[in-house]
Amino acid sequence: MKILAIDTSCDETSAAITDNEVILANVISSQVQLHKKWGGVVPAIAQRAHKERIVPTIKEALQQAGFKLEDIELIAVTYGPGLAIALEVGVAKAKELANQYKKPLVAVNHMAGHIYANLAKNLAGKAPVEKIEYPSLALLVSGGHTELVLIKAGGQLEIIGQTLDDAMGEAYDKVAKILGLGYPGGPTIARLAKQGDSRAYSLPIAMKNSQDLNLSFSGLKTAVLYLVKQLIDSSNDRKLSKQQIIDIAASFQRVAFESVILKLERAVKKYHVKQVLLGGGVIANTDFRRAIRAALKPFNISVAYPNLIKLCTDNAAMIAVAGYYQFQRGEIVNNIDRLDRDPIASL
Instruction: Show contacts with Zn ion in window 142-161 (CB under 5 A).
Output: 142
Q: Which does 113 bind (CB under 5 to 8 A by kind): Zn ion, ligand KG4, none?
A: none
Helix, strand, or coil (residue 200): coil
Q: How far is the CB of 75 from ligand KG4 (least distance, A)?
A: 21
Cβ 116 vs Cβ 15: under 8 Å: no
Q: Which does 187 bind (CB under 5 to 8 A by kind): Zn ion, ligand KG4, none?
A: ligand KG4
Cβ 97 vs Cβ 103: under 8 Å: yes
**Cβ proximity to ligand KG4, 97 vs 256, nearer residue:** 256
Q: How far is the CB of 197 from Zn ion (least distance, A)?
A: 31
**Antiparallel, parallel or unpaired: β 12-19 and 2-7:** antiparallel
Instruction: Show contacts with Zn ion in window 104-133 (CB under 5 A).
Output: none
**Cβ proximity to ligand KG4, 143 vs 161, nearer residue:** 143
Q: Out of 121, 203, 314, 321, point to the residue binding Zn ion (CB under 5 A).
A: 314
Give the whole-angstrom CA distance, residue 50 versus residue 278: 27
Residue closest to ligand KG4, measured at CB: 281
CA end-to-end span of the chain: 25
Amino acid making up residue 291 = A
Q: How far is the CB of 275 from ligand KG4 (least distance, A)?
A: 21
Q: How far is the CB of 289 from ligand KG4 (least distance, A)?
A: 10
Cα dist from 83 to 9, 11, 139, 289, 329, whole Å: 6, 9, 22, 28, 27
The window from 134-142, 177-185, 271-279, 298-306 that contacts Zn ion (CB under 5 A) reads 134-142
Give the whole-angstrom CA distance, residue 246 versus residue 252: 10
Residue numbers of the site for ligand KG4 (CB under 6 A)?
10, 142-144, 169-170, 172-173, 184-187, 190, 280-282, 284-285, 313-314
Closest CA to 308 of 81, 120, 167: 120
**Cβ proximity to Zn ion, 147 vs 247, nearer residue:** 147
Cα dist from 261 to 114, 122, 135, whole Å: 19, 29, 19
The window from 41-49, 88-96, 253-261, 308-316 that contacts Zn ion (CB under 5 A) reads 308-316
Interface with Zn ion (CB under 5 A): 142, 314
